Structure 1
Amino acid sequence: MTDLRHVRAFLAIAEAGTVTAAAARLRIGQPALSRTLRRLEEHLGVRLVDRSTHHLELTPAGRAYRERAVRVVAEVDGLLDPGALWTTAPLRLGHAWSALGTHTPELLRRWRAAHPDTPLELTQVDGPGAGLPAGVVDAAVIRGRVRVPGVTTVALAPEARLAAVPAGSALAARSSLTLADLVGETVAINAHTGTTTPDLWPAGGRPAMTWVGSTADWLVLIAAGGAVGVTASATASVHAFPGVAYVPLDGVAPLPVWLAFGEPPSHPAVPALVELVREIAGA
């Protein structure tokens, strides 16, 4: 029998980007999750996930189904959650690694003062949608391109880009850098949540790239002298790390930042959150 559990499994795979990562997040075995996905596809009579490529991708039918599934699962969760009827239900704000950066403490202080009966919970979720596609959070701070279908977005103030380089290196001694200064280095890219892509550099002048799976791995690799990175200014304020120096990057467009949420909202306090975030970190 196919039920909502199969739909949630599909959304977890779509959010995580691989069956392995989704299985770890759901705390089930990879073979079991693969079987669950296959049963959903057999029930629908269509393939949702293209497994023929090196990186898992949704088929056109899968992308369309995901958009519908996100809305439906959020609605069901709201109907089944007794706490959703009360203002004391926590409001969950997702983020991939830095929340609102330097504005985060102010957001938490002001929210607590204005809404003492509705806790605001920050939830870090690896993935481009920071938990929003799977219904793990009610709203999410997303940097770079928004890759979550069927959501409403509010533009926040863009963030300057920085180079993250090994402390003590010649690059760390510079007052600023350019992308060209990094061409001779290996650039670490977070495949799950990062905003840096090879497209930042011209096609004929790109540095070597190495892929990591998390912000922690990214920081450790740079601190060990194995790579450099490009990131947003919020990272420097939230992720100070021994052995990593952050240097301003000249000549690079700032990184767009968005507050994203479902429509209709999955929590009655989302409009109040949007208003406050706009006031604190609006464009």
Structure 2
Amino acid sequence: MIERSEGISWARGIKVRHLESFLVLDEAGTLTEAAARLHMTQSAMSHWLAELERVAGTPLVVRGRKVQLTPAGHLLKRLAITVLGDIVRTGREMHAVAAGRVPRLNVGSVWAGIAGGLPEAVTAFQQRHADVAVSIHDGLFDDLLKGLDTRAMDAVIGVLDARAHQPQLAHHVLFDDQVSIVIGQGSKHWHSEQPLGFADVLREQWVMPPLGTLTRIQMDAYLIEQQASWLVPKAETASLAMMQALLHKGDYVGVCAESMADYMASLGLFRKVAIDSNIRFGPITVVWNREHVSATLMDFIDCLKAHVRGLPAAQVQEAPRA
């Protein structure tokens, strides 16, 4: 329980109107202009300010041709911005709930989903639902999937496997992905005009996903097939940002989903290494909890399907409402 103290009790006399008026005064710069904006007399404005300073227990402005905030005034301004911002956001969220929508979606995604149309889907979704915030969380599929049970996540994008076939979960396949081998601008091969193959980078310094991740499992299987199981990575990371930094700054070879490799190559950040056979990554799938479904979530999934397939949203077949 919060203890009663001067740090809390002083604020009981402050109303939302006080905070709104104080921000108007700070912006207007004079009591006269602030009174005009608030449709008050200057005398009433002065009385209101004196009352607010009495509640605060300290001067909030230095009066003159133009009012200046005191240190305490700056603190109250910070409080006003925070409180009024929270009130506006909560109002929008309550309006969304009253209209049968959710005010926020939490979407988890592996790298492949982020490169495979997720940013475009978020943009299209928010053109329809301007009052719905979307929080994007990237990470390992296992960790993100757990959030569907606790409602920390509304939907998760990852690779379809046994983990997505739980009774309470529904899913929709978005696209099929492969594993790619890439280099960055730090590689000695970056400026080579010759086609770059697996044999050219086999004995280089490799950056791979951690052991146990699907990308690493598929890559290790490929190395066995190529009789290169002796290869030990110099660095392991589940962070795309870290892998990108290593490939940009140092002479490394990286491993990632082909969708991400293609996306980074389009930005001039990665160059793909040609390999003789496909290293299958798996079908990239959006997963959600049947028990926590909402119309807003399904609208988002429809946008995701549209932008992954490259179709206008109106032409997309709706995902199952299971």
Q: Normalising TM by the smaller chain, what interval?
A: 0.5 to 0.7
Residue from 142, 147, 168 that aligns with 1:129: 142
Task: In structure 2, give the amino acid aligned to 1:132.
Answer: L
Percent identity between matched residues is 16
Specify the structure having the higher radius of gyration (Cα): 2
Q: Distance in 2 between matches of 1:201 and 1:145?
A: 22
Q: Distance in 2 between matches of 1:274 and 1:159?
A: 19
Q: CA deviation at 1:213?
A: 4.5
Aligned: 1:252 with 2:265: no
Q: CA deviation at 1:258?
A: 1.3
CA contact (8 A) 2:156 2:287 kept: yes
- Tell me the equivalent position of 1:109: 123
Task: In structure 1, give the amino acid aligned to 2:111.
Answer: W
Q: Distance in 2 between matches of 1:100 and 1:229?
A: 18
Q: 1:131 to 1:194 in 2, by over 3 A?
A: same
Q: Distance in 2 between matches of 1:144 and 1:239?
A: 23
Q: Distance in 2 between matches of 1:243 and 1:282?
A: 24
The gaps in structure 1 that reach 5 residues or longer are: 1-81
- Tell me the equivalent position of 2:256: 231
State the SS of the aligned residue for 2:215.
Answer: coil
Q: Distance in 2 between matches of 1:227 and 1:268?
A: 45
State the SS of the aligned residue for 1:202.
Answer: helix
Which string of whole-angstrom CA distances, capped at 9 and with x for unpartnered residues, describes residues 241-260 of structure 1?
99953225332245331111
TM-score scaled by length of structure 1: 0.57
Aligned: 1:265 with 2:265: no
- Tell me the equivalent position of 1:185: 204
State the SS of the aligned residue for 1:111.
Answer: helix
Q: 1:276 to 1:176 in 2, by over 3 A?
A: farther
CA contact (8 A) 2:181 2:254 kept: yes
TM-score scaled by length of structure 2: 0.51
Q: 1:230 to 1:145 in 2, by over 3 A?
A: farther
State the SS of the aligned residue for 1:112.
Answer: helix
Which string of whole-angstrom CA distances, capped at 9 and with x for unpartnered residues, describes residues 178-232 of structure 1?
4444321232122286723312222531322232252222222223325311212
- Tell me the equivalent position of 1:169: 187
Q: 1:267 to 1:96 in 2, by over 3 A?
A: same
Q: Distance in 2 between matches of 1:143 and 1:175?
A: 34
CA contact (8 A) 2:113 2:284 kept: no
Q: Distance in 2 between matches of 1:234 and 1:146?
A: 22
Residue from 216, 221, 225 that aligns with 1:196: 216
Task: In structure 2, give the amino acid aligned to 1:152.
Answer: A
CA contact (8 A) 1:219 1:241 kept: no
Which string of whole-angstrom CA distances, capped at 9 and with x for unpartnered residues, describes residues 84-106 of structure 1?
77414212211133544262343
Q: Distance in 1 between matches of 2:195 and 2:257?
A: 14
Instruction: Compare the two structures and name the one with the higher helix fraction.
Output: 2
Q: CA deviation at 1:165?
A: 1.3
CA contact (8 A) 2:102 2:132 kept: yes
- Equivalent residue pairs, number: 202
CA contact (8 A) 1:163 1:248 kept: yes
Q: CA deviation at 1:239?
A: 5.3
Task: In structure 2, give the amino acid aligned to 1:232.
Answer: A
Residue from 114, 117, 139 that aligns with 2:155: 139
CA contact (8 A) 2:112 2:284 kept: no
- Tell me the equivalent position of 1:208: 232
Q: Distance in 2 between matches of 1:177 and 1:252?
A: 16
Q: 1:97 to 1:163 in 2, by over 3 A?
A: same
The gaps in structure 2 that reach 5 residues or longer are: 1-93, 311-322
